[in-house]
Amino acid sequence: MNNKFKQKIAEAILRDAQNYPSASKHAKALGINAAQLSRIKRGDLERVLSDAKWINIARRLGVEPGEGSSWKIARTPVFDYITEQLAFCQRYHVSAVLVDVPDIGKTFTAKHYVRTHPNAVYIDGSLHKRKQQLIRAIAREFGVEHTGRYVDVFADLTWYLRSLDNPLVIIDEAGDLDYAAFLELKALWNATEGAAAYYLMGADGLKVKIEKGRERKKVGYAEIFSRFGDGFKRISPETERERRQFKRMLMNMVARANGLNEPETKLYARTGGSLRRVYIEYQKRHESH
């Protein structure tokens, strides 16, 4: 790995530092030790971390390799709605569930929010489906010790969340969490009631899981639903026709913000309105220059 890319990652680490109350918490969240973090902050890039660890941190902080212009934020209705929701939840210690179609910018918005707001963390539920995986992942993102006895990790995490100013936990792909993880999330909410906020995001599978759990009177689901506002938030239209138009509008806004100024019909034919495909087109363009 060349030093130019390491320098980009180091700059992202410095920006990320503002989201943590101490260097030790920040180092734990990055998965490195305080001495390594101190060296990086001093500009020392040689033999500080393995290439694998640099890549891990780059992925976590959204640092892309290569040259070219950075991906620019388009203030779409999705971006503005989710940003406002997250800010409200974090400020007032309330929780909510967002259920909507994939590929409209939910994940991008949540990750951007976390990078720009202290005491907010993002967890991918598809990677941390089980109870212990979920709680340990949340602890790690806050810089709390996450490798010891599970009972101690849970206790330390709840204590720390209650001590923070307006902590927010965003769990994406929440429909992938198993039953025990949902119950433990309820326990975490109970232990931090009035001190922390939680925001679940997912597609229709999350809504189905919660509704079926409530219908079958399965322990925990009714309580989870009540704690998360007794309703599902949504941005996109309900009908298929209106949804296609909505996604096309999002595609145009994102494409124009990032200099993809070709005719709409041509871009839509190549991407199908997918924002992920728009990003691929953007990458291809900059790699060719």
Q: Tell me the pLDDT tens digit for each residue of 29-69.
A: 999 999 999 999 999 999 999 999 999 999 888 887 765 55
Residue of 181, 179, 173, 174 whose CA lies nearest to 216? 179
CA 182 centroid distance within chain: 18
- Give the dihedral sign, CA 95/111/76/281: negative
Provide the pLDDT for residue 69.
55
For the cut 80, the answer to whether the pLDDT of residue 6 exceeds it is yes
Which whole number is the average pLDDT over 67-84?
Answer: 87
Q: Which of 107-111, 117-121, 283-287 has the lowest mean pLDDT?
A: 283-287
Give residue for tokens 């839509």.
268
More confident call, 197 vs 220: 197
- Give the dihedral sign, CA 20/24/29/32: positive
For the cut 90, the answer to whether the pLDDT of residue 263 exceeds it is no
Question: DSSP assignment, residue 31?
Answer: T
Which whole number is the average pLDDT over 243-266?
Answer: 91
pLDDT band at 101 (very low <50, low <70, confident <90, very high): very high
Which whole number is the average pLDDT over 182-191?
Answer: 95
201-235 exposure pattern, b = at least 16 Cβ within 10 A, e = fewer: bbbeebbebbeebbeeeeebbeebbebbeeebbeb
- Cα(210)–Cα(289) distance, rounded to whole angstroms? 48
For the cut 90, the answer to whether the pLDDT of residue 24 exceeds it is yes
Percent of the chain with pLDDT over 90: 74
Provide the pLDDT for residue 221.
86
The residues, ordered by sequence, that sit 6+ positions from 225 with a Cβ below 8 Å of its Cβ are: 97, 210, 214
Provide the pLDDT for residue 67.
56
- Cα(107)–Cα(267) distance, rounded to whole angstroms? 22
Provide the pLDDT for residue 71.
82
Strand partners, 121: 169
Crossing angle of helices 3-16/34-41, nearest 10°?
110
- Give the dihedral sign, CA 113/197/121/133: negative
Residue of 138, 145, 192, 125 whose CA lies nearest to 33? 145
The two beta strands, 120-124 and 168-172, are: parallel
pLDDT band at 224 (very low <50, low <70, confident <90, very high): confident
Most confident of the ranges 71-75, 140-144, 213-217: 140-144
The whole-chain average pLDDT of the chain stands at 92
